Amino acid sequence: MIWFFDSWIGGLTVLREFQKILPEYDYCYFGDNARCPYGDLDDALIRQYTEEGVEFLFDQGAEIVILACNTATAHAIRYLQQVRFPDKKILGVTIPGAECVTEGGYKKIGVLATESTVRNRAYKERVHIIDDTIHIQEIAAPELVPLIEAGIFEGTAMEQILSNHLGKFDADIEALILGCTHYPIIRRHIETILPRLPIIDPGYESAIKFREYLIRHPSIEKNLSRWGKTMFFTSGNTENFMKTGSKILEKDIAHIISLPL
């Protein structure tokens, strides 16, 4: 089983890409929707909540956990990997996104993200580890996540907010990173406003990189169950999760386990 942790439903866009590219495996997804959105929290709380969620998954028997949240990855992954769970396998979504930038040969890119991810310079830092000559312009769009989590994927309010924030990017950016896992849900609207601009979806890139990771780590791959099943946990309202989550995954979520924190 491949295990995912996210602050709520945005990470379902990552799960969706994994299921498309690696459909034979079993998956478990835990959304901490009782305490979302993480992007509005201070750094210490983000790390604490992420640590608690990941610890829960390891207690359930997880061998490898994907942080399907840019904010959680930016604030907690190094601590979790190096300090809290040094003997466990934890992967995030920001590094595959950053690698796509350098592999694509881009010299100037935009990043649309949450306040917290921008404040943490998540993509700027990770891209510059590989190539510090690439110019990164990061813009925060704090209004988007609450709209998406309310199930509002389109409409006048969404279009106005997107137009406002996307209009802040320099005209010569060569690609745009969707720096929040919620944003692939509204990708069509982004492409309408910025036609012909390459869009980098770290969720898709993570699925591609994870497929390569399994080839390099056959000892992990051989222990992953292959029934094509998915189970869900949420810390919040199961009805809301099932309704909105089914829209994102484009298939019904038949069962979800409530996990009061």
Contact 66, 4 (CB under 8 A): yes
The catalytically annotated residue of 28, 36, 100, 180 is: 180
Residue 18: CB atoms within 10 Å: 24
* Positions of E strands within the chain: 2-6, 27-31, 64-67, 89-92, 108-113, 135-140, 175-178, 199-200, 230-234, 257-258
Q: Choose, from 28, 36, 69, 100, the residue flagged as catalytic.
A: 69
Catalytic, 69? Answer yes
Question: Is 180 one of the annotated active-site residues of the chain?
Answer: yes
Torsion of CA 230, 180, 175, 91, to 10 degrees: -60
- For helices 202-216 and 12-21, angle between their N-to-C axes, nearest 10 degrees: 50
Catalytic residues: 69, 180
